[in-house]
Structures are given as C-alpha cells and as structure tokens.
Homo-oligomer: A and B are copies of this chain.
C-alpha cells in the first residue's frame, strides 16, 4: 500500500495529481507505524524506538565557542554558498576521524561532505541504481537505507549474518543465485560496526573475505559506519575501506559523535565516483551548508573532541548495560544480541508473538520499540524487535523494559487463553520510518 492509496486525504480519488507521479514514487511509502510513533513521542511513553543520540551529553559551551570562532574568522564564508564538495577544512579534519578507524591513505580530495550520511546514501543510490537493480544488504539492515534504495526502484536482497557479521558463504551463494537469475548486482550495503539493527560487528577476517568476494565479483561495497567510534570495550576492527581504496565507498557522519541537527556527513569514494558524487550533490542541493561545516570545523579545532567521544562512549555503555540487566531480569526467557557499541539491542521473540501486531498494545502500556519488520525488505522480522538505548536514561530504560515485559507476558497469556487463530497477519512492507527512528 503506498501512501497515495491510503485514505481520503492522500487517496487516489482525492489526489488530482495521482496519475502524474513518477513510477518510482509508488515505492516511497510512509511507515505504517508513523501514526503510532506520533503517539509514542508523548513524554509519558518510554521510547525504545528512536535512534536519537543523547545530545545533552554534549556541553553546549563547545557549540558556543565553535560558533563564536566561526563568526570571528569565517563569518561571511559561513553565510555564503560553498563548493559542492564541501569546505576543504572539514574534509582535512575528517581524515583524522577516519584514521581512528584505520583509514590512513585517504585524501581530502576524495571526500564529499553531505547533508548527513543519509544524503550520501541517496546520492549513491541515484548514481548507481536503475529500476530492478539489486542491492545486497545484511539481514536485517538499516530501514532508512532500504527505503532510499527502494525509492530508486531497486530490489534489496538480504544476506544472512551471525554474531561475526555478514556470512561470506551466504554472500557468495546470493551472488551466484542472483547472477543465475540474470540480475544486475550494483553494490553490497553493509554496516560492519554495531549493526543497526542487528547489533553485531563484522570480524576482521570476514571483512577481508567479504572484500575479496566483492572484488572478484566486481561489486562495489557501500560501507556505512556512523557508530564505529562508539565502542564500549575494544575498538571495532579497522574499516573495510582501510583494506581497499578502489572497491569501497565509505560513509561517515557527525550525527552520532557530535550532533544530528547539523546534518553533516561524508562519503569517501574512489576517484571517479567521487567526481560524480560532487555533481550529484550540486544537482540535489547546490552545496552542503557552509555554516554547519564551519561549526563542525571550529568544534574540532576548539574542543578536545576525542575526549568528548569518550564521554559519549561512557554514556551509551551505561545504557547498554542497563538494557542488558533489565532484559535479564524481566525477559529471561528471550534471547537478544547485546552490542559492543552503538545504539541498539536486537531482541528475538518466541514464534507465537508478532512484533508489529504487538506494538499498539505496547504504546498503550507506555513503551515503544521498532518492530523487526522495518528492517527487512522481504517481510521477515515479525519475531524480532529493535530496542534502542541511546536516548532514554538508564532508569527510563529499566522502566521501559519492565513495561515491555508486561506487554509480552500479557500477550503470551492471551494467546494461551485464546490461541493464535484470531490474529490477522497482513503482508509486511518495508517503509520509511519517521526520522527519529533511524
């Protein structure tokens, strides 16, 4: 069901432009749970659904002094149009950030700054995807990426992962099967670190194997790494991009290590692709905000940003631990993947439960989560739930998990009493979430 077929306000009958939309627009669907999330944003609801970083952990003085330095030194530049590639200063600094992930051979010339890394996802999709082309993605994968690839009429094919991340043999099998079917494979989209939502990290050995397979098969790797520096114990293995410069587009972002309100992300791409990315940026927005790029640049100059990231790590680790402990206490019968970094825990339900169907009840009980179905392009995920621990305080996390346990246990009791027959399972459809559940 597209949003254009939904109801009186946006329905076929009432939209005089219905027949004018491009074919691709049919794939641009609103989240079916959007209305529910509007309810879930009430303060009394504990939201374990969002992907919002805890920006209050960032001292506002740091932004103040970045702003003042910017206006003092670069006021009229910051207020003016800039180049499509982004300002050289921030691209230089991005090198230092990527060096922490093992990428030491990059040039600022090969970086393109974007309006958050979602923008880079969109532009890469625009550059590469013809209708019907296949994108390989982890199973499950980031809902916003799935939505964007779909908006260019691509087919998303999931590849299994386990606790060590994407399974190379599964990747090989998928490629062989799709090639046999005559499909055109454009790229592998992967979140190797603290996968959103699967919470797993790809091992170094797997990174090398996945790269080797993609090189051999001439499939580009789109490596999305917004959470890499937010590890709770050991750092994640080096980026896939650190192993190869020619087969990987690497995406980074300031959204989780500084602020998503600034919308500054970047792509590091092989030379020829980077040229096209710049043209795509210009075509879509002329130039990324110079104002925000200068705020980022001066923030990185003025502050001990590595110390600040260490502070974020401590905040999120405490919350991950609170989530773990609460799940052990209240839902010991279930299994989940607890991540070594990032924002999300991946919870598995028992087969008789349906994560999407259960959500309205959860919201009534004042707790929200993201049903697993959001993270698959093929209708799976009914028995999975993404729980985010990034935004709520540890106390709220504990409260939220206790409420969730009530919902789950209540649902199980109901099912024991009435059976599962009465439940209608609609076909799932991957849809864009509201932005705060990215």
* Nearest CB of B to A136, in Å: 14
Total interface residues on A, CB under 8 Å, equals: 91
Contact (Cβ within 8 A) A83 B20: no
Interface residues of A in 25-41 (CB under 8 A from B): 25, 28-30
With A261-B291, A285-B122, A291-B259: A22-B128 Cβ-Cβ less than 8 Å: yes
Contact (Cβ within 8 A) A24 B126: yes
- Determine the chain B residues whose CB is within 8 A of the CB of A9 once the complex forms: 271-272, 275
Interface residues of A in 49-66 (CB under 8 A from B): 51-53, 55-56, 58, 60, 63-64
Over the window 69-113 of chain A, the binary record of Cβ atoms lying under 8 Å from chain B Cβ atoms (1 yes, 0 no) is: 001000111111111100000000000000000000000000000
A21 CB-CB contact with B under 8 Å: yes
- Determine the chain B residues whose CB is within 8 A of the CB of A127 once the complex forms: 21-22, 25, 28
- Determine the chain B residues whose CB is within 8 A of the CB of A3 once the complex forms: 275-276, 279
Contact (Cβ within 8 A) B115 A80: no
- Determine the chain B residues whose CB is within 8 A of the CB of A18 once the complex forms: 272
Contact (Cβ within 8 A) A435 B63: no
Contact (Cβ within 8 A) A289 B272: no
Contact (Cβ within 8 A) B284 A21: no
Specify the chain B residue showing the minimal Cβ separation from A144: B286
A206 CB-CB contact with B under 8 Å: no
Residue among A55, A128, A148, A263 facing the most chain B CB atoms (10 A cut-off):
A263
A165 CB-CB contact with B under 8 Å: no
Over the window 126-143 of chain A, the binary record of Cβ atoms lying under 8 Å from chain B Cβ atoms (1 yes, 0 no) is: 111110010000000000
Specify the chain B residue showing the minimal Cβ separation from A56: B76
A163 CB-CB contact with B under 8 Å: no
Specify the chain B residue showing the minimal Cβ separation from A24: B126
Select one of B17, B52, B83 contacting A272, CB under 8 A.
B17
Contact (Cβ within 8 A) A17 B270: yes
Specify the chain B residue showing the minimal Cβ separation from A148: B283
Task: List the interface of chain A (C-beta within 8 A of B).
Answer: 3-4, 9-10, 14-18, 20-25, 28-30, 51-53, 55-56, 58, 60, 63-64, 67, 71, 75-84, 115-116, 118-119, 122, 126-130, 133, 144, 147-148, 151-152, 186-187, 218, 220, 246, 255, 259-263, 270-273, 275-276, 279-280, 282-292, 295, 432, 434-436, 438
Known: A22-B127, A122-B283, A263-B291. 7 other contacts (CB 8 A): A21-B128, A30-B275, A30-B279, A63-B71, A63-B79, A80-B259, A82-B261
Ordered by A's residue number, 26 sampled pairs between the chains whose C-beta atoms are within 8 Å are A3-B275, A3-B276, A10-B271, A17-B273, A24-B126, A24-B130, A28-B283, A30-B275, A53-B80, A63-B71, A67-B67, A77-B261, A81-B255, A81-B260, A81-B435, A81-B438, A82-B435, A115-B263, A116-B285, A119-B285, A126-B151, A262-B291, A263-B288, A263-B291, A282-B432, A282-B435
